[in-house]
Amino acid sequence: MSLVKRLGRHERVHQALCWSIAQYIRFIHATNRWEVEGAAHADRLHQANRAYIGAFWHGRLLMMPFGWPRVMPLAMLISPHPDGRIISDAVRRLGVDIVPGSTNRGAADALRNLVRTLKKGSCIAITPDGPDGPAMTASAGIVQVARITGAPIVPITYATSRRRILKSWDRFHLPLPFGRGLFLIGEPIEVPPGADAAQAEALRALVEARLRDLTAEADRRMGHGVLAPGTLSRDAFRARRRAARAA
């Protein structure tokens, strides 16, 4: 069990950790010079009073509470596993609601929760490569949610000029202070309610391609090389790391 998970079992330590993460996110937002491009895509949906599904990679999660124009309420789909609970309680402190669940694990319950949230007029945010990975590979769940609810998918990403890429399964982008930051919001992707399996797969691939392209563009503009997508699931990545340590 990781140190974070062990600490998270103690409520006071858990609350302190969540508070610290939220404060770090605020600190990074305050100490970087941010630009947002593509906000008009979300604005048009706001003006039409259409809730949408924001899609971003798991590794770009940290600054997402500040990524969208906050005209409509925003809720994030976050897995209830221990790591997810820490993230959930941290982003709640930033005014973001949480929809517990995963489009991969317990998908039926998550879908019901997402439908209810969208019907209330709240936008939702989903990591299509989380919580299982591989990194930067979209699962089919996000397209299923869009097909059933009629909500368009809006891809979004960010990059910062000063950062660390952690050696985690999701290649987590840890932004550092006193630099520049860029959010890129892509064109909405509509999923027809009658989409068959072939159309759904084509749209899944489109979400994946759009997000990869946006992320590569954001990284380039912040002076970094392009990160290659992952090849291992979260569990496989961690198993390989444990084996390497044991050796």
- Per-residue pLDDT band for 70 (boundaries 50, 70, 90) equals confident
Asked if pLDDT for residue 192 goes beyond 80, the answer is yes
Report the domain count for the chain. 1
For 81-118, write each residue's pLDDT tens digit: 767 788 889 999 999 999 887 766 656 788 888 888 99
Range among 1-10, 66-75, 191-200 rated most confident = 191-200
The residue segments making up the domain with residue 121 are 3-246
**For residue range 41-51, what is the model confidence (pLDDT) as tens digits?**
999 999 999 99
Length of the chain: 247
CA distance 178 to 88: 26
CB 97 within 8 A of CB 74: yes
Cα separation, 93 vs 90, in Å, equals 6
Q: What percent of the chain has pLDDT over 90?
A: 72
pLDDT of residue 1: 43
Instruction: Give the pLDDT confidence score for residue 9 in this predicted structure.
Output: 62
Q: 65-76 burial, b if ≥16 CB within 10 A, otherwise e?
A: bbbbbeebebbb
Question: Is pLDDT above 70 for 63?
Answer: yes
